[in-house]
Each structure stands twice: as C-alpha cells, then as structure tokens.
C-alpha cells in the first residue's frame, strides 16, 4: 500500500518544535547536583519521540543526531552519568541545532552541515569524553548523519529469495514445541501456520501425547507440539522471521528438507536455535545469511520535498472544542423547538416563542464565546521562551539572575501572542543588561546577589496586562533628563513630571547605557517597542524607583472582534460604552456638580471629585429633546488608570456588539474605537474610553 507520508510532516514538525521547547525548559530547570529524575525523563522522552518520528518520516540526519542526544540522556537517566553544567550547555546547543535543522527541512532548504557537524562534535566529545572511556563511541558513530539520504536498516527482513537458487524439493522441516505459556502473550500457533503456508506448501503433524488428563488440563496452557514440513524455496531467515515473536516461548528446530541439487552459490548457514542441535552443514563454505539493508529503497527520504509549506494553524484544547460542539447541539435543539412553534403558530403560543427566543439568545451568546475562545492561547506560548533567553544572556554577562513567570495560563488572542514576542524580548534584554546590576554591585548596594526579573500576565478590566518587573538599579531621572537635554530632545527650561521623564526612553535615538553592548540596543529599540504595542491597540507604562528596580507594564486589549457594551442615549444618537470600563452608573443631582477652577466640571462621588465629560458637547449632538444641563446619568468609567464620568441622557441596555472597524470603512476618529450595527439597522459608535479621557484632558 502506498501512503503519502508527507501528510504527517506538518504534525511532526509541530510536535518536534514542541518537544524541543520541552527539552529546553527541562534543561534550564535542571538544578546541577540535585537532579529531578522526572525532568530528565521528560527531556529524554522528547528526544526519543523526535528520533522515532524523524526515522519514520525519513529525516535520517535528524534521527542520527537525536540518537546521540538520546544516548547521553539515557545515561543521565540511569544515573550512569553526572549531570554537569557543560553537559547541559552542550545539550542546549543541540536543541538549537535540531531546531535549525528542522526549520531547514521544513522550508525545504539544505541543512547547514557545518553547524550540525560542530554541534555533533561537541555532543560526541561530551558523550565520550567524561564518562566511561571510549565505550560509548560506537552508537555515536553508527548513527552519524549521512550526507545522502540513507534509510536506516529496517529490522523486518524482506529479503526475496534469489530465484536461481530455488530447488523444487527444497524446504524446511520445523520442529515447533511451544512452552506452556506461549498462548499467554496473545500468540497463536494457528496464525503462525497461516503465515508459513503463505510461503509454500505446509504439512503439519500434531503431537498430542503431552496433553494431560482432562481433570488436570489447564485450558490456557499449550500442551501440543508440531512437526511441520514446509516445501518452499525460502531462506531460513524468512521462516525464522515468522517465529520471531515466539522464539523465546518455544523450542524450535530447523532442518533443511533435502540437499539442493545444484548449488550455484553457497547456501546460508543453518542457524543454531538455543535449544539443542546443530543441523548438518549444507554447503562447505557457508557465509551467514546477510540481510541487506542497502537494497531497500530509500523509504520516504524524498517525501519531504513535496511537504506543504507551514500553514498558519492553531492548536486548540479538546475541552474547548467539546464545549463548542455542545453549544452547537443546544442551538440545534432550540432551533427545532422554534421551528415547531412556527409551523403551527397561534397567538397563545407567544409565551412559548418568547422563551424560545430567550434561549436562542443565550445559546448564541455562549456559542459565540466558545468560538472566540478558540483563538485564545495561554501566554505561556510566549513566556516559555524566556527562561532560555535569561539563562544565555546572564551567563554571557556574568550576572546572576532568576526569572519568575507568573500567570502563564492567562489567555490572550492568537494575534497578540504572535506580535508581543519581539517587544517582550527587547524589554527583557534591557532589564538584563541595564536593569540588573553586576553581582558585586548588588552586594555593595545591600541587595541579594541574585537579581530577579518577574514576568507577569493577568487580566484587568478588558485588558491583559503584561509586566516586566526587575529589582535592578532603576531609572535615574536626572541622568535621563540631562541626556535628553544633551541630545537636544527636550528644552532645558521645560519642567517635566517623573512619568514624562521616564517616557523619554521611548524617544527615537535615546540611549543611556554607558557602554553599548551587543545584547541590548543602541537606542533604536524602545520607540519601536512602543509603536508595536500601540499597533496592537495597547499602551506601555514605566514605573521605576532609583536603586530599587523598574516595572514596565504593557496593557493590551483582550478581545478583538466582539465586546460587551452598554448602550447609552445622547440626544437621538446611541453610543456604546464598553462594559468592562464601566465602574458604575448614577443618576445625577444638582448638588453633585461642581465647577473647579482650572479643572473644568467635576462631580463628587463619595469622597472623590471626578471630572465630567459631557457626551453631548464632545460629540456635538444637537438633536433630541433638550435635557437640562444638570439632568441625566453619569456613567463612571475607568480609562488610563483614572476615573471619569460620562454625562449621557439615558442608559438603554446591555448587549454584545460586533466591532466594525471605522478606520477601514471611514477614517480614524478620536474618541471612537469602532462602530457597530444595532438591531434596528442603525449605526452606533463605540466609545474609546481612554481616548476620550485623553481628549477631555486637553
């Protein structure tokens, strides 16, 4: 049967990359000296799977390489080898090398042989050098990556008999005497005979003399033995192959039926089966039966050429899909119920219809949520790469740094996962390079020698917040300011708040590091970082205290297509306020309003004065019943970390709205994040709360 193996390549590659990630994080978490055997096991298993898969799918270079890794890991697993830092580093290098190889193969490019050879040499040196002398060298070289695709020897022997050697009266006499336990492994002599009979004419002679009397008979034991005669020209190896699964569970003897009449080539030597006798030699010179692996056609080595390019796929938790299917089921039930009502409708069924519609609404909402959920991935997809980054860079810088990950299971949209990586790498590199001090400096400053970087993710309001917190030296306001003045980025006379000074690092062409390193940038990074985050609809904040550390917080929107909204009326217009940003809504009374000099209109909410934004004014709405300036509803919202009140005429209702891009259909409007179409077909604008807050401050 021909099966197109290339269809499995995509899954295989994905699996390999996952395995490599698991290996990497496992290797990084290995505490030298105190080894967790479960971690080693996980690493071993990943290497083992990659090896097995790459062998099967014809990527022998990869298989050969992983074989060496596996050997090394196996020794570590069995405690035959110490886990040392150099060994871990070599293995980490190998992970990189494998990733490179697999990427090349996936993209149908040539594998970088020089790089592979370099890593392989290091790996073999580690394998042979430290433990147990040269005895390990054999497996390593046996599997050395071959320049041309050569398939490793399949162990199942499919040697065809060479026709010219066959003699019609040739064949084998087989004495097959199963042990009592042969049946207990699921083997069945009948099946063996069936296989034998495919090779030639089979006659069997059953020996039942060993069957005990009925009262002593154990039905699960095999008490029968056979004398078989197979008339066939097959080689002994082929006959033995049939018995390969049972050869330890039986006494087996082979003898050729008759001497071949003509011997063109020497016949294979009879094989001694452990039990007893040696069959008489057939021919004088008897080379052993050689199974030629080289004759096998290269199985799937070329299949990779036809492999489809990586498609943008997504891995979805089965639970999510199950929920989805469940929801669809509910919708179908509701639909058929409504169908039934509609088929024979009369006014007394209105109640039923309403209930059905309410149900449909609930199910649609759930269904929609489940569908949106498919796009959500845990942020660990991004975070998991950082332990390695921190490990490598801190080694390079001679700093001692631990990375703590918090909230890795926080789910974010797939698009965010893909785009947030580069900015985060940049920010973490900055923390490593500029933030955390050298160990000696830390001790001098009375801090623990080991620096800490915390990478946190959590949901707040409608946002996901990602924080990078370090306990390093913090930002020096004065230094930042003088640098900015020196570079002509700000005027000397300008008085700036702390926050504004910190924001300076996002300006193009700003860098404070005394020495530029190859690890973090030359001041061409932070402005790009901020731009990337803003393009995702997010923003970035810095909090820093000199000598104590820096926190960089990134706020990103959680959902991209649908939002829970509160619709509010302003004159004849309807606006949607994102529900997540609403803290509360209150009816306004005259005495709550205040005019504060320089700060515009405010109102007192409990013990706090909050600014008011009049929607009617900001959007210049003139239509509708003119309400008095001091009547209406205040919607208290949070935006940009500050509370603020929107004055609207009326609250209408809560509903989910599908966000339509205003930019794509019209143009960007400040204070508006998008638009939606209401049930009656009219368009409502969705308010951009932080944007409006910004707008009102001006």
Scanning 180-188, 206-214, 253-261, 628-636 for contacts with other proteins by CB under 8 A, the matching segment is 180-188
Residues 69-98 vs other proteins: string with x where CB under 8 A? Answer: -xx---------------------------
Minimum CB–partner distance for residue 571 and other proteins (Å) = 58
Q: Is 188 in the site for other proteins (CB under 8 A)?
A: yes
Minimum CB–partner distance for residue 218 and other proteins (Å) = 13
Angstrom CA distances, 316 to 16, 378, 408, stand at 17, 11, 17
Q: Which one of 85, 118, 191, 599 is in contact with other proteins (CB under 8 A)? A: 191
Q: Which one of 17, 35, 39, 49 is in contact with other proteins (CB under 8 A)? A: 49
Angle at alpha carbon of residue 99, lines to 93 and 105, rounded to 5°: 140
Say whether 128 is catalytic. no
Say whether 75 is catalytic. no
Question: Phi and psi at residue 589, in whole multiples of 5°?
Answer: -125, 155
Q: Which one of 88, 123, 242, 635 is in contact with other proteins (CB under 8 A)? A: 242
Q: Which lies closer to other proteins via its Cβ, residue 139 or residue 624? A: 139
Are residues 88 and 31 in contact, defined by beta-carbon separation less than 8 angstroms? Answer: no
Q: Which lies closer to other proteins via its Cβ, residue 77 or residue 363? A: 77
> How many Å apart are CA 647 and CA 630, to the nearest integer?
9
Q: Which lies closer to other proteins via its Cβ, residue 62 or residue 424? A: 62
Q: Is 51 in the site for other proteins (CB under 8 A)?
A: yes
Q: Which lies closer to other proteins via its Cβ, residue 52 or residue 287? A: 52
Phi-psi region of 176 (alpha: psi -120 to 50; beta: other; left: phi over 0): beta
> How many Å apart are CA 125 and CA 336, to the nearest integer?
70
Minimum CB–partner distance for residue 155 and other proteins (Å) = 4
> How many Å apart are CA 698 and CA 685, to the nearest integer?
22
Q: Which one of 193, 245, 381, 506 is in contact with other proteins (CB under 8 A)? A: 245
> How many Å apart are CA 356 and CA 52, to the nearest integer?
54
Q: Which lies closer to other proteins via its Cβ, residue 238 or residue 471? A: 238
Reading the block at residue 608, the tokens are 């706090």
CA proximity to 437, closest of 456, 455, 453, 454: 453
Torsion of CA 308, 309, 312, 313, to 10 degrees: 40
Minimum CB–partner distance for residue 308 and other proteins (Å) = 14
Scanning 155-163, 400-408, 431-439, 526-534 for contacts with other proteins by CB under 8 A, the matching segment is 155-163
Minimum CB–partner distance for residue 172 and other proteins (Å) = 18
β-strand pairing of 463-470 with 549-557 = antiparallel
Q: Which one of 23, 25, 43, 48 is in contact with other proteins (CB under 8 A)? A: 48
> How many Å apart are CA 219 and CA 111, to the nearest integer?
59
Minimum CB–partner distance for residue 479 and other proteins (Å) = 52
Angstrom CA distances, 96 to 24, 25, 188, stand at 9, 12, 48
Question: Phi and psi at residue 367, in whole multiples of 5°?
Answer: -60, -45
Q: Is 21 in the site for other proteins (CB under 8 A)?
A: no
**E strands, 491-570, where?**
539-545, 549-557, 562-570
By CB under 8 A, the residues from 588 to 617 that bind other proteins are none
Minimum CB–partner distance for residue 109 and other proteins (Å) = 21
Q: What is the DSSP letter of 696?
A: H
Q: Which residue has the tokens 């099966």?
A: 3
Scanning 11-19, 91-99, 120-128, 130-138 for contacts with other proteins by CB under 8 A, the matching segment is 11-19
By CB under 8 A, the residues from 117 to 146 that bind other proteins are 139
Q: Which one of 5, 282, 397, 593 is in contact with other proteins (CB under 8 A)? A: 5
Annotated catalytic residue: which of 24, 70, 75, 573?
Answer: 70
Q: What is the DSSP letter of 186?
A: T
What ranges in 57-142 are assigned the alpha helix state H?
60-77, 85-106, 113-129, 137-142
Minimum CB–partner distance for residue 55 and other proteins (Å) = 3
Q: Which lies closer to other proteins via its Cβ, residue 11 or residue 358? A: 11
Per-residue burial over 172-191, b = 16 or more CB atoms within 10 Å of its CB, e = otherwise:
bebbbbbeeebbeeebebee
Say whether 67 is catalytic. no
Q: Is 244 in the site for other proteins (CB under 8 A)?
A: yes
Annotated catalytic residue: which of 430, 437, 467, 573?
Answer: 430
Q: Which lies closer to other proteins via its Cβ, residue 290 or residue 625? A: 290
Q: Is 362 in the site for other proteins (CB under 8 A)?
A: no
Scanning 63-71, 363-371, 504-512, 542-550 for contacts with other proteins by CB under 8 A, the matching segment is 63-71
Minimum CB–partner distance for residue 559 and other proteins (Å) = 30
Q: Which lies closer to other proteins via its Cβ, residue 185 or residue 402? A: 185
Minimum CB–partner distance for residue 352 and other proteins (Å) = 40
Question: Phi and psi at residue 58, in whole multiples of 5°?
Answer: 90, 15
Minimum CB–partner distance for residue 462 and other proteins (Å) = 35
Size of the site for other proteins (CB under 8 A): 47
> How many Å apart are CA 238 and CA 161, to the nearest integer?
9
Angstrom CA distances, 352 to 120, 333, 338, 356, 362, stand at 73, 14, 9, 6, 15
Q: Which one of 39, 42, 405, 553 is in contact with other proteins (CB under 8 A)? A: 42
- Is the alpha carbon torsion for 407, 412, 417, 419 positive or negative? negative
> How many Å apart are CA 341 and CA 356, to the nearest integer?
9
What ranges in 346-453 are assigned the alpha helix state H?
350-374, 380-383, 386-397, 414-430, 439-444
Q: How far is CA 16 from the centre of its chain?
A: 10
Q: Which lies closer to other proteins via its Cβ, residue 185 or residue 665? A: 185
Residues 206-225 vs other proteins: string with x where CB under 8 A? Answer: --------------x-----
Reading the block at residue 532, the tokens are 């990337």
Are residues 80 and 131 in contact, defined by beta-carbon separation less than 8 angstroms? Answer: yes
Annotated catalytic residue: which of 48, 67, 463, 555?
Answer: 48
Angle at alpha carbon of residue 18, lines to 17 and 23, rounded to 5°: 95
**Secondary structure (3-state) at 341:** helix
By CB under 8 A, the residues from 298 to 357 that bind other proteins are 299-300
Q: Which one of 184, 203, 326, 594 is in contact with other proteins (CB under 8 A)? A: 184
Are residues 380 and 527 in contact, defined by beta-carbon separation less than 8 angstroms? Answer: no
Angle at alpha carbon of residue 552, lines to 550 and 557, rounded to 5°: 165
Minimum CB–partner distance for residue 15 and other proteins (Å) = 5
Q: Which one of 104, 152, 517, 656 is in contact with other proteins (CB under 8 A)? A: 152
Residues 523-562 vs other proteins: string with x where CB under 8 A? Answer: ----------------------------------------
Minimum CB–partner distance for residue 157 and other proteins (Å) = 10
Q: Which one of 131, 144, 150, 183 is in contact with other proteins (CB under 8 A)? A: 183
> How many Å apart are CA 52 and CA 59, to the nearest integer?
10
Residues taking part in catalysis: 48, 70, 430
* Contact footprint for other proteins (CB under 8 A): 1, 3, 5, 7-9, 11-12, 14-15, 42, 44-45, 48-49, 51-53, 55-57, 63, 70-71, 139, 151-152, 154-156, 158, 183-188, 191, 194-195, 220, 242, 244-245, 248, 299-300
């Amino acid at each position: 049967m021909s099966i197109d193996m290339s269809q499995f390549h995509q899954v295989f590659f994905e699996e390999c990359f996952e395995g490599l990630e698991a290996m990497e994080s496992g290797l990084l978490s290995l505490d030298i000296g105190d080894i967790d055997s479960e971690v080693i096991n996980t690493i071993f298993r990943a290497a083992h799977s990659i090896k097995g898969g790459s062998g099967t799918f014809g990527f022998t270079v990869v298989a050969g390489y992983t074989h060496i890794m596996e050997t090394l890991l196996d020794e570590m697993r069995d405690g035959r080898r110490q886990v040392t830092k150099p060994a871990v580093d070599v293995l980490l290098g190998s992970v990189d090398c494998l990733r490179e190889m697999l990427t090349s193969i996936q993209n149908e490019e040539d594998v970088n042989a020089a790089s592979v050879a370099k890593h392989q040499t290091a790996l073999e040196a580690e394998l042979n050098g430290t433990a147990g002398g040269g005895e390990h060298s054999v497996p390593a070289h046996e599997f050395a990556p071959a320049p041309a695709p050569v398939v490793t020897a399949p162990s199942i022997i499919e040697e065809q008999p060479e026709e010219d050697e066959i003699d019609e009266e040739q064949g084998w006499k087989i004495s097959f005497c199963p042990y009592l336990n042969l049946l207990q492994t699921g083997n069945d002599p009948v099946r063996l005979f069936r296989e034998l009979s495919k090779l030639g004419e089979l006659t069997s002679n059953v020996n039942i003399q060993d069957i005990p009397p009925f009262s002593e008979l154990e039905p699960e034991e095999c008490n029968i033995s056979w004398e078989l005669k197979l008339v066939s020209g097959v080689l002994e190896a082929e006959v033995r192959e049939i018995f390969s699964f049972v050869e330890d569970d039986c006494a087996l003897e082979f003898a050729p039926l008759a001497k071949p009449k003509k011997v063109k080539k020497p016949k294979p030597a009879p094989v001694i089966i452990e039990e007893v006798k040696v069959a008489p030699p057939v021919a004088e010179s008897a080379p052993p039966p050689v199974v030629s692996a080289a004759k096998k056609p290269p199985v799937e080595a070329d299949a990779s050429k036809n492999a489809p390019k990586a498609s943008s796929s997504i891995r979805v938790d089965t639970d999510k899909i199950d929920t989805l299917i469940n929801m669809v089921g509910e919708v179908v039930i509701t639909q058929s119920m409504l169908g039934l009502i509609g088929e024979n409708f009369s006014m007394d069924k209105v109640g039923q219809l309403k209930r059905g519609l309410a149900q449909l609404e609930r199910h649609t909402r759930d269904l929609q949520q489940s569908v949106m959920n498919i796009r959500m991935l845990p942020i660990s997809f991004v975070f998991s790469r950082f332990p390695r980054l921190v490990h490598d860079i801190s080694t390079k810088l001679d700093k001692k740094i631990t990375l703590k990950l918090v909230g890795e299971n926080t789910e974010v949209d797939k698009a965010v996962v893909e785009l947030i990586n580069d900015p985060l790498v940049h920010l973490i590199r900055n923390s490593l390079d500029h933030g955390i001090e050298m160990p000696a400096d830390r001790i001098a400053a009375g801090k623990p020698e080991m620096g800490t970087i915390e990478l946190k993710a959590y949901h707040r309001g409608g946002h996901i917040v990602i924080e990078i917190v370090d306990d390093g030296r913090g930002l020096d306001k004065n230094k930042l300011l003088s640098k900015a003045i020196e570079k002509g980025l700000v005027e000397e006379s300008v008085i700036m708040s702390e926050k504004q000074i910190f924001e300076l690092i996002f300006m193009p062409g700003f860098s404070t590091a005394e020495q530029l390193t190859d690890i973090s940038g030359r001041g061409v990074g932070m402005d790009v970082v901020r731009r990337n985050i803003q393009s995702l609809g997010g923003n970035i904040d810095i909090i820093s205290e000199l000598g104590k550390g820096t926190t960089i917080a990134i706020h990103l929107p959680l959902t991209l297509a649908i939002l829970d909204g509160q619709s509010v009326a302003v004159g004849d217009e309807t606006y949607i306020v994102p529900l997540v940003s609403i803290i509360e809504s209150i009816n306004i009374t005259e005495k709550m309003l205040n005019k504060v000099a320089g700060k515009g209109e405010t109102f007192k909410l409990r013990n706090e004065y909050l600014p008011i934004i009049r929607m009617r004014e900001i959007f210049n709405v003139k239509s509708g019943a003119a309400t008095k300036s001091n009547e209406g509803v205040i919607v208290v919202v949070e935006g940009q970390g500050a509370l603020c009140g929107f004055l609207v005429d009326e609250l209408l209702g809560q509903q989910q709205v599908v966000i339509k891009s205003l930019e794509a259909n019209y143009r960007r409007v400040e204070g508006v994040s998008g638009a939606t179409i209401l049930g009656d077909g009219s368009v409502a604008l969705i308010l951009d709360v932080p944007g409006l807050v910004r707008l009102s401050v001006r």
